[in-house]
């Protein structure tokens, strides 16, 4: 499962979202990455998904959520990913 969190350096909620998702990625076998909106990958992804708000969560190429999820909400979004041993 590929999980991408789109963020911006100047976005305070993005820092919170990144903390939550790094915690969940440590628990689950995810292909997790933080993608900066200012970089080429971030701009391409934002354009393709027509994003106007961050943080944004993309799972397997699909926009799944906007904003900061709680750890429980984040875990619920990736329940099909196996836990790390």
Q: Is the dihedral of CA 59, 64, 69, 72 positive or negative?
A: negative
Q: Provide the whole-model pTM.
A: 0.93
- Domain 2-77 CATH class label: alpha beta
Question: Residue 85 has what pLDDT?
Answer: 78
Q: Dihedral of the CA atoms 6, 9, 14, 17 (nearest 10)?
A: 80
Mean pLDDT per 10-residue section of the chain, whose length is 85 residues:
96 97 96 97 95 96 97 96 89
- Tokens describing residue 59: 């799972």
- The pLDDT score that the predictor gives to residue 3 is 98
Task: Say what the pLDDT of residue 47 is.
Answer: 96
Domain ranges of the chain: 2-77
Q: How far apart are CA 52 and CA 62, in angstroms?
A: 15
């Amino acid at each position: 499962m590929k999980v991408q969190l789109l963020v911006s350096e100047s976005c305070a909620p993005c820092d919170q979202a990144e903390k939550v998702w790094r915690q969940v990625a440590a628990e689950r076998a995810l292909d997790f990455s933080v993608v900066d909106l200012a970089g080429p990958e971030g701009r391409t992804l934002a354009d393709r998904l027509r994003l106007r708000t961050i943080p944004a969560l993309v799972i397997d190429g699909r926009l799944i959520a906007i904003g900061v999820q709680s750890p429980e909400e984040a875990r619920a979004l990736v329940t099909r990913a196996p836990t790390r041993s």
